[in-house]
Structure 1
Amino acid sequence: MDATSTLDLAAISALDAGNAARLLKGVRDATLSGHRPPVRPRQLIGESWGRMLQGGVDPDHDIRSRLLSLEELEERRRASPLLDILPVLREGLVSVADAAHHIMVVCDVDGRVLWREGNAAVLRSADSLGFELGADWNESVVGTNGIGTPLVVRRPLHVFSAEHFVQTHHAWTCAGAPVTDPRDGRLIGVVDVSGPITTMHPATLALVNSVAKLGEARLRDLHLTALERLRAVASPVLARIGGRAVAVDTHGWTAAVTGMLPTDRVPLPKSLAAGTPWLPSLGRCRVEPLPGGWLLRLDDGARDGGTGSPAATRVVLDVSGARSWSVTVASGAGCWTHELSPRHAELLYLLATHRRTGRTASDLSEDMFGDPGRTVTVRAELSRVRRYLGGLIAHRPYRFHEDVEVEVRTPELPLDLLPHSTAPAVRRARGGAAPPDSAGS
């Protein structure tokens, strides 16, 4: 390999642990000192190192934040959706981790260690690194690692030896996979298998990711069971109602309807309470609580309420966070906020930064995938976006409506913009180039 080559996990795995560690140390040392490395780091690793350098993380000293108290730890455990899938994670990983001289670590969305189990000797060694219950393994605190970095990039990642940004972690190998709540697409945590560098195996990441997917499948089963319970409660209520109404769970998934065509999910604002709010896809509704969800009674005096949006005056697209993004709409009907999926955050950012010209499906396909031919995917995602933004998004080309004021809130450092995104246009923006129409946003 030479300086024009890029490392991959297969190339690292082909070396014995000692040689791989030495190669990666040379790559890291050269990169951090501003010199040309003997071979380029893997892209996700290199981008993470860039974030660490801009964020001021010390590559030579181990900095630790305060541990959670026992009370705080127990409170987070009880509140975490990960508690429901802990048996699945244990069954799939703990025995394998113990035999392979690894430990399994489960962290919440903030990177806090909630559970850890596995080989007793490795657990004692982890204590010396601060890899203990209640510890903060956020990327911005401890640098590139197999917990904090998968939380940022939202994909499985194996971090080996000197790919860790902080040198005190170089004796370790970590493979982590993010876990997403299938009810709303929210990132809820990460499961990781870690151990000494001599225990690295290229199949570890595939195993961890497979078990994380099994955990998500378990959450999906629990969700379907909860919907059935809500349907049993809501059906007699709906049978007595005249007009149009729908029963949904707290995430907007439909349990039962009357007087209207069913839809899989009703987009709900970030916070919903009993009253008469305007909802993006239904118009004015009367909202009443049900056990495990809401009853939404549509205003039949305005039957076209679900076909568009009331006159909006302002849209705020907030993509300043590392792991959560939102769109807030202020209109004559009030103000509501909707949390965005990673893909929708990318699409709305691209539309907001091309206010003057808009983007065709082919343009967005090029922006998102580097391939102008993937228009079917783009149109499908924008159709979902328009379910909650309604008439705020025009088409032919796709763009925010010209009468709407749009504000885009981005991170202070360009490198922190949507760090999960692999979209070529977003990566260019992370490189510091001004978006084409940013002045008009």
Structure 2
Amino acid sequence: MQTSRAAGESVLAREYQRVVTRAFSKLSQSQEDTALEAVRRIVSDSWQRSLSALPPTGRDSAELGLDTDELRRLRAEGPLARALPIVRRLLIEPARDTGLVVAIGDAQGRLLWVEGDHQSLRRTESMGFAVGADWSETAMGTSAPGIVVATGAPASVAQAEHFSPVVREWSCTAVPLVDPHTRALMGVLDITGGDEAVSPLSLPLLTAAAAAIESELAQPSPAPDTTTTVFSGVSFGDGPRSAAAGGHLTPADDAVPAHHPLSVGTDAEAGVTARATGASAGGDVGPTGPGAESAGPDSLGPEPAAARPVVRVTGSGAPTVTRDGRERQIGLRHAEILTLLDWHDDGLTGPQLGEMAYEEAPEAATVRVEMHRLRRVLGEATGGDVELASRPYRLVGAQGRERAPLTDARAAHDALTDGDVETAVRLCRGRVLPSSTAPEIEGIRTALATSLREAVLQFADHDLLWTYLRRQDAQDDQDAWMLALRLLPADDVRRAAAVARLDAIDAENAAG
């Protein structure tokens, strides 16, 4: 008998993921194995359906399921165009710089809109998670949108639960979009990303957004000359477009991005596709025209490139460095040392670093070797703009120039010191190096989390508070969720997600 396992932390547990990997290996080889009984039924059933359509190795990339004309027609004339303003306000704008990608697909699992965090968009595009692609089970195997299309029920899929190996570094949650009059499946609403995509908040938030979309679609359609869709430009990066009268864009104007592999124009003539250039996740152009207030100061759009910290050490996932728009992982020890040096402007001696970064004081030679390696990492990460000085070890700007904060943790701390809570929330995506046990890192982690939380609870408006609540480490913060209920407008659909989360917290507390 298969066990019931809810989406969230349990499906991300290392032991469960190992069981899933083993079970899929046996299943794909047509071998019986008891491990399959530990896999969630919704996932194992999807595996069986996928095996009937695909080889056990899955697919490396989704194929396009729509030609140019059909894509234009569905985006311009289909009812889901009316869902865009709701999805952008509730899901896409808050998803900027969170690592999450939001997609709307049709009833066959073909993606009509894909928007969100640009770095994640570039990465997901490499596996074909892009406008026009077919993400049904028959095309890509088990995924949250594929299960929704096959069953009509909400679904979440975490990492190794995916059928195609190329998708297994991702997690996703999706809900059906139904016709309010016939109750037939019209489409699917999906979020894809890291651990946050299957957090306890994801399903209630998507369900609330789907309910708002259904309510909108239950209303009579506006006349063609008044139907407007504000274009956010989050995913296409092709600069501001000329708008229809009044500065708005009709769904037809927003029909097919210039970089869509099927589109024609300068990009196609040059032999450039979105997948080759990453263009669909390029420049982050804000809304154009009147009525685009949602992209104002509270939308937490990305900061200018020059102001962005180079090293990400907050939130889930491995620490990374970003150079020329490209992100790569760095080791935990190097991330710890960079965080410590970034935090201590006056520098640290070798023995001080040893005490702060290691649970047991290392030999002096060990620290020297690490610092030698770190110089190369730092040079590659900053292009020589930041250098590692010695006696004591410290970070300095090249040629005596003043340096900006190197890590997102220090940048968030400085923003809080300046009273800029919005920037601090945007920069600090979660706990500082959550897997680190280095003594001083634990202190920095606690100090930053505490000061950020207090600032948010005291000064944030409801939109900024909601952005904060999307963090994994805020999921059980009952005070913050209660504050959200007090601040959110009475007609805001996010209240439903807040109520659901508070109910879950109460249930967890009662069980514990």
TM range (shorter): 0.3 to 0.5
Q: As a proportion of its length, which structure holds more helix?
A: 2
Q: As a proportion of its length, which structure holds more strand?
A: 1
Q: Give TM-score scaled by structure 1 length.
A: 0.46
Bigger RCO of structures 1 and 2 (CA < 8 A, at least 6 apart): 2
